[in-house]
Chain A
């Protein structure tokens, strides 16, 4: 996997929302890389910055959010320096996104066919007949039966799962290099969730694209993702392969997350352990580790100074003072 080219390189990305109440620092020095064909999972709680980082790759950050530092390199473009007009050629073409709620993501007043063909006509030289043909192919590809009939239907005539399949068809219409999935299954039934995830993995193989999977569902990332970034308070606190994160987690927040999910192999009557406390105040982020106030192993230094990233292995790094402490004590 590692010999593949780097498709996406995010470096020290800083992004803030300038609200009337003050500056909300959503991303504080976020860096990560994604190679071709890789699946990256970004996990974290609400407000941790996971969706914002994904949106910023497409320059879709909602008002009044603004990138104030760092750079994003994608497929040979420096996204952070592109104009809106240049960005339009990339969106829906080289990088696509699917959203959390398929019920509201499609325009209710246009047919499915219209909404799929629209993006094909925009980014390719296809004429209307060719676009329609391609739309039928796409609907078949995402597992929708009677595609020709569906083209003439409106979003409200389809179920949630079907609509998310249509969203995926729209996203894949121009065979993008990167698909961003922003909690694509959160609003769906459990059985449909599995189907949609399976479909995404299948299509990834067929098209050979990379995927960024944003979710708070650790179960989803464990099966799908090559790499996982755990975000907290606008920072990536731990990064590694699924194995690294699930079996060798180093950051206290990651450990807390893992303890708070139900497991099949758990001892009977074992209770789930919630993470106590409230999320970090992004208006006034603490000087030290953002997780320190909720951390059971918090030390004095954690409150004062942000820990640097420590490499645990080639694929695994984390920002936690405990790792440095262990290393120091182990070294002695």
Chain B
């Protein structure tokens, strides 16, 4: 176990190094710069700004400085949102995105797994067809349409829920539903096909031959085997949803991280681009390790390392 952890941490560091390196150089390959979008500035102003943010130095020196700061946990200062450090922007935005995203994932699991199981157990019957249609629809409809429709029905027509973020429970409902829509549908489909596969296994016949009820067969014998593909999917999906959805956050005016992610690129906010990329990579790596460990717990045949 100790060896495994050492190995995973060193791989994680290597990955982070590669991610930051590639992001850094790709970023400068894109034309433009952080101060070009605004009204024309004098050359002296530009030079002063570039000097302030260290952009006047050679790229390789900038790269070195960035890595050194990164090692100290300092992600730099945003060039767009003047005076705010990237650390602060992430620290402000991430909790909001994570709260909504985490709830959405929970909702998706609680809806997707029962729906998929019901469909699998009633294979070929009308309820199965209904769930297949629902989940296909869920996968096909993009979140911005879901969010807009929900907003129209619940906020505009009935005035039940707010259209913007107030930080309370009521304002979480619309974003959570919009975000949970796709993963619930996807999980339902995954678990359906996975359970159908498991139900055909010999050990399920053994379970039936023992005289076990359908309930025990499903929850004890089938689900634990069938859940593995869902766990695999959940790793990256949780990382993606926790880090915030640009579209949903934009439509429902949520001050989350998803917005910062995209706007940093359009505004060439170099430190924020790097910061969000490194942050997302870290999140993804951590969740993948958690997935690996969850795998080991669920299926004893799997060996870590």
Contacts and interface: CB of A to CB of B under 8 A. Distances in A.
B300 interface: yes
The binding surface of chain B is classed by DSSP as: helix
A108 B208 contact: no
Given A88-B211, A91-B208, A107-B221, A156 B300 contact: yes
Q: How large is the interface on B (under 10, 10 to 19, 20 to 34, 35 or more residues)?
A: 20 to 34
Contacts of B203: 104-108
Contact of B209 (A58, A104, A106, A110): A58
Interface in B195-231: 201-203, 205-213, 220-221, 224-225
Contacts of A93: 211
Given A108-B225, A109-B225, A156-B300, A92 B205 contact: no
A113 to B, nearest CB: 13
A89 B301 CA distance: 32
Contacts of B205: 60, 62, 99, 105
Interface in B80-139: none
B212 A118 contact: yes
Contacts of B225: 107-109
A10 B221 CA distance: 32
A123 B298 CA distance: 27
Interface string A93-106: 10011010100111
A110 B298 CA distance: 10
Contacts of A109: 224-225, 298-301
A119 B301 contact: no
A40 B220 CA distance: 34
Contacts of B298: 109
Given A109-B298, A109-B299, A99 B211 contact: no
Nearest to B213: A88
Given A104-B202, A104-B203, A109-B224, A122 B209 contact: no
Nearest to B123: A63
A120 to B, nearest CB: 10
Interface in A6-31: none
Nearest to A123: B211
Given A154-B301, A156-B300, A156-B301, A107 B206 contact: yes
A88 B301 CA distance: 30
A88 B205 CA distance: 13
A91 B209 contact: yes
A87 B298 CA distance: 31
Contacts of B301: 108-109, 154, 156
Contacts of B220: 110
Given A104-B201, A104-B202, A109-B224, A122 B212 contact: yes
B212 A88 contact: yes
A62 B199 CA distance: 11
A21 to B, nearest CB: 16
Contact of B206 (A122, A154, A167): A167
A122 B221 CA distance: 15
Contacts of B209: 58, 60, 91-92, 96-97
Contacts of B202: 99, 101, 104-105
Given A60-B209, A88-B211, A96-B209, 17 more contacts: A88-B212, A89-B211, A92-B211, A92-B212, A93-B211, A105-B206, A106-B203, A108-B203, A108-B225, A109-B224, A109-B225, A109-B300, A118-B212, A119-B211, A154-B301, A156-B301, A170-B206
Those 8 A-B pairs whose CB atoms lie nearest each other, nearest first: A91-B211, A92-B210, A92-B211, A104-B202, A107-B203, A88-B211, A119-B210, A154-B300
7 contacts: A92-B212, A105-B205, A107-B203, A108-B301, A119-B211, A154-B301, A156-B301
